Structure 1
Amino acid sequence: MNLLSAENLSKNYADRWLFRELNFGLQQGQRVALVGINGSGKTTLLRILAGLEPPDTGEVSVRKDIRVSFLGQQPVFDESLNVEQTIFASQNDTLAAIRDYEHVVNDPNHSSADLQRVMELMDTYNAWDYDAQVKQILGRLGILGDLLERPVSKLSGGQRKRVALARVLIEEPDVLILDEPTNHLDLATIEWLENRLASPALTLLMVTHDRYFLDKVANEIVELDQGRVHRYQGNYSYFVEKKAEREQMETVEVEKARNLLRKELEWMRRQPQARGTKQKARIDAFYDTQEKAKGRIKGPEMELSVKTTRQGGKIIEVEHLHKQFGGKVVLDDFSYVFKKKDRIGLIGPNGAGKSTLLNMLTGKLTPDSGVVDAGQTTVFGYYTQTELEFDPTQRVIDIVKEVAEVVEMADGSQVTASQFLQHFQFPPAQQYTLVSKLSGGEKRRLQLLRVLIKNPNFLILDEPTNDLDIITLNILEDFLLNFQGCLIIVSHDRYFMDALVEQVFALEPGGKIRQFPGNYTDYREWQKDQDAETAARPPKATASAAPVAVPPTPAAAPAAAKRKATFAEKKEYETLEKELEQLETLKQQLIEKLNSGTGTHQELADWAAQLKRTDLDLDTKGERWLELAEFV
Structure 2
Amino acid sequence: MNYLSVENVAKSYGERILFSDISFGINKDQKIAFIAKNGTGKTSLLNIITGLDSPDSGKVISRNGIRISYLAQEPDLNNNLTVEETIFASDNNILKTIQQYESALENPEDEEAYQKAFEQMEIKNAWDFETQYKLILSQLKLDDLHQRVSSLSGGQKKRLALATILLNSPDLLILDEPTNHLDLEMIEWLEQYFAKENITLFMVTHDRYFLERVCNEIIELENGQIYQYKGSYSYYLEKKEARIQAEQASVEKAKNLYSKELEWMRRQPKARTTKSKSRIDDFFIIKEKAHKRRQEHKVQLEINMERLGSKIVEFHNVSLSFGDKPILNKFDYTFKKGERIGIIGKNGTGKSTFLNVLTLKVKPDGGKVVIGETVKFGYYTQSGIQSKEGQKVIEVIKEFGEFIPLTKGRQISAAQLLERFLFDRKKQYDYVEKLSGGELKRLYLCTVLIQNPNFLILDEPTNDLDIVTLNVLESFLLDFPGCLIVVSHDRYFMDKIVDHLFVFRGEAEIEDFPGNYSDFRSYENSVVTEKETKPSTETNKKTWKKDQNNALSYEEQKEYKRLERAIVKLEDEKKEIESVFANQALTGEQVDEYSIKLQKIINEIDEKTASWFELSMKMDS
Q: TM-score normalised by the shorter chain: which range applies?
A: 0.7 to 0.9
Alignment of 1:491-506 (within 5 A): 491-506=488-503
Q: Does 1:484 find its partner at 2:503?
A: no
Summarize deviations over 1:328-374 as a string: whole Å, max 9, x none: 11222211001101110111101110010000100111111121110
User: What is the Cα deviation at residue 306 of structure 1?
Assistant: 2.0
Change over 3 Å in CA distance of 1:224–1:101 after alignment to 2: same
* Residue in 1 that maps onto 2:504: 507
* Residue in 2 that maps onto 1:90: 90
| Structure 2 gap segments, 5+ residues each | 538-559, 570-603, 610-621
User: What is the Cα deviation at residue 301 of structure 1?
Assistant: 6.6
Q: Does 1:439 find its partner at 2:468?
A: no
* Residue in 2 that maps onto 1:132: 131
* Residue in 1 that maps onto 2:549: none
* Residue in 1 that maps onto 2:115: 116
Q: Distance in 1 between matches of 2:563 and 2:150?
A: 50
Q: Secondary structure at the match of 1:530?
A: helix
Q: Distance in 1 between matches of 2:434 and 2:278?
A: 41
User: What is the Cα deviation at residue 289 of structure 1?
Assistant: 6.6
Q: Judge conservation of contact 2:4–2:26 (CA < 8 Å) in 1.
A: yes
Counterpart residue type for residue 36 of structure 1: A
Q: Distance in 1 between matches of 2:433 and 2:281?
A: 40
Q: Distance in 2 between matches of 1:140 and 1:204?
A: 20
Q: Judge conservation of contact 1:304–1:478 (CA < 8 Å) in 2.
A: no
| Structure 1 gap segments, 5+ residues each | 541-556, 567-625
* Residue in 1 that maps onto 2:46: 46
* Residue in 2 that maps onto 1:382: 379
Match for residue 181 of structure 1 among 175, 178, 199: 178
Q: Judge conservation of contact 2:79–2:148 (CA < 8 Å) in 1.
A: yes
Change over 3 Å in CA distance of 1:2–1:326 after alignment to 2: same
User: What is the Cα deviation at residue 163 of structure 1?
Assistant: 1.1
Counterpart residue type for residue 466 of structure 1: N
Change over 3 Å in CA distance of 1:96–1:374 after alignment to 2: same
How many matched pairs?
551
* Residue in 2 that maps onto 1:475: 472
Q: Judge conservation of contact 1:251–1:298 (CA < 8 Å) in 2.
A: no
Q: Does 1:162 find its partner at 2:162?
A: no
Counterpart residue type for residue 18 of structure 1: L
* Residue in 1 that maps onto 2:99: 99
* Residue in 2 that maps onto 1:561: 564
Q: Distance in 1 between matches of 2:386 and 2:260?
A: 50
Q: Does 1:211 find its partner at 2:214?
A: no
Q: Secondary structure at the match of 1:198?
A: helix
User: What is the Cα deviation at residue 515 of structure 1?
Assistant: 0.7
Change over 3 Å in CA distance of 1:560–1:297 after alignment to 2: closer
Counterpart residue type for residue 159 of structure 1: Q
Counterpart residue type for residue 116 of structure 1: Q
Q: Distance in 2 between matches of 1:377 and 1:500?
A: 24
Q: Distance in 1 between matches of 2:261 and 2:278?
A: 13
Q: Distance in 1 between matches of 2:263 and 2:403?
A: 42
User: What is the Cα deviation at residue 302 of structure 1?
Assistant: 8.2
User: What is the Cα deviation at residue 22 of structure 1?
Assistant: 1.1
Q: Distance in 1 between matches of 2:102 and 2:258?
A: 71
User: What is the Cα deviation at residue 309 of structure 1?
Assistant: 0.7
Counterpart residue type for residue 39 of structure 2: G
Mean Cα deviation higher: 47-56 or 511-520: 47-56
Summarize deviations over 1:412-442 as a string: whole Å, max 9, x none: 5444444433333333443333322211111
Q: Distance in 1 between matches of 2:80 and 2:460?
A: 31
* Residue in 2 that maps onto 1:395: 392
Change over 3 Å in CA distance of 1:132–1:176 after alignment to 2: same
Q: Does 1:421 find its partner at 2:424?
A: no
Change over 3 Å in CA distance of 1:299–1:85 after alignment to 2: closer
User: What is the Cα deviation at residue 561 of structure 1?
Assistant: 2.6
Summarize deviations over 1:274-306 as a string: whole Å, max 9, x none: x99999978977886787577543569787442
Counterpart residue type for residue 231 of structure 1: Q
Change over 3 Å in CA distance of 1:430–1:295 after alignment to 2: farther
Q: Judge conservation of contact 1:424–1:475 (CA < 8 Å) in 2.
A: no
Alignment of 1:322-471 (within 5 A): 322-471=319-468
Counterpart residue type for residue 427 of structure 1: D
Change over 3 Å in CA distance of 1:524–1:269 after alignment to 2: same
Summarize deviations over 1:36-63 as a string: whole Å, max 9, x none: 1101111111121122211111111111
* Residue in 2 that maps onto 1:548: none
* Residue in 2 that maps onto 1:55: 55
Report the TM-score, using the length of structure 2 for normalisation: 0.81
Alignment of 1:252-331 (within 5 A): 295-297=292-294, 304-331=301-328
Q: Distance in 1 between matches of 2:568 and 2:392?
A: 44
Q: Secondary structure at the match of 1:358?
A: helix
* Residue in 2 that maps onto 1:535: 532
Q: Judge conservation of contact 2:514–2:562 (CA < 8 Å) in 1.
A: no
Change over 3 Å in CA distance of 1:630–1:431 after alignment to 2: farther
Q: Judge conservation of contact 2:5–2:25 (CA < 8 Å) in 1.
A: yes
User: What is the Cα deviation at residue 17 of structure 1?
Assistant: 1.7
* Residue in 1 that maps onto 2:599: none
User: What is the Cα deviation at residue 132 of structure 1?
Assistant: 1.1
* Residue in 2 that maps onto 1:597: none
Match for residue 194 of structure 1 among 180, 191, 195: 191
Q: Distance in 1 between matches of 2:561 and 2:83?
A: 48
Q: Distance in 2 between matches of 1:252 and 1:558?
A: 51
Summarize deviations over 1:546-603 as a string: whole Å, max 9, x none: xxxxxxxxxxx9995343999xxxxxxxxxxxxxxxxxxxxxxxxxxxxxxxxxxxxx
Mean Cα deviation higher: 520-529 or 460-469: 520-529
Q: Distance in 1 between matches of 2:568 and 2:421?
A: 30
Q: Distance in 2 between matches of 1:260 and 1:393?
A: 52
Summarize deviations over 1:374-393 as a string: whole Å, max 9, x none: 01111000000113222344
Change over 3 Å in CA distance of 1:363–1:559 after alignment to 2: closer
Q: Judge conservation of contact 1:305–1:482 (CA < 8 Å) in 2.
A: no
* Residue in 1 that maps onto 2:550: none
Considering only aligned residues, what root-mean-square deviation do their CA atoms show, in Å?
3.5
Q: Distance in 2 between matches of 1:472 and 1:325?
A: 37
Change over 3 Å in CA distance of 1:539–1:342 after alignment to 2: closer
User: What is the Cα deviation at residue 239 of structure 1?
Assistant: 1.5
* Residue in 2 that maps onto 1:74: 74
Q: Judge conservation of contact 1:158–1:184 (CA < 8 Å) in 2.
A: yes
Change over 3 Å in CA distance of 1:630–1:408 after alignment to 2: farther
Change over 3 Å in CA distance of 1:88–1:157 after alignment to 2: same
Counterpart residue type for residue 67 of structure 2: R
Q: Distance in 1 between matches of 2:608 and 2:9?
A: 56
Q: Judge conservation of contact 2:83–2:149 (CA < 8 Å) in 1.
A: yes
Q: Distance in 2 between matches of 1:262 and 1:160?
A: 61
Q: Distance in 2 between matches of 1:281 and 1:347?
A: 66
Q: Distance in 2 between matches of 1:381 and 1:435?
A: 21
Match for residue 524 of structure 1 among 503, 521, 536: 521
Mean Cα deviation higher: 406-415 or 288-297: 288-297
Change over 3 Å in CA distance of 1:398–1:259 after alignment to 2: farther
Q: Does 1:227 find its partner at 2:230?
A: no
Mean Cα deviation higher: 468-477 or 135-144: 135-144
Mean Cα deviation higher: 375-384 or 156-165: 156-165
Q: Judge conservation of contact 2:217–2:230 (CA < 8 Å) in 1.
A: yes
* Residue in 2 that maps onto 1:615: none
Change over 3 Å in CA distance of 1:436–1:251 after alignment to 2: farther
Counterpart residue type for residue 58 of structure 1: G
Q: Judge conservation of contact 2:514–2:561 (CA < 8 Å) in 1.
A: no
Identity %: 50
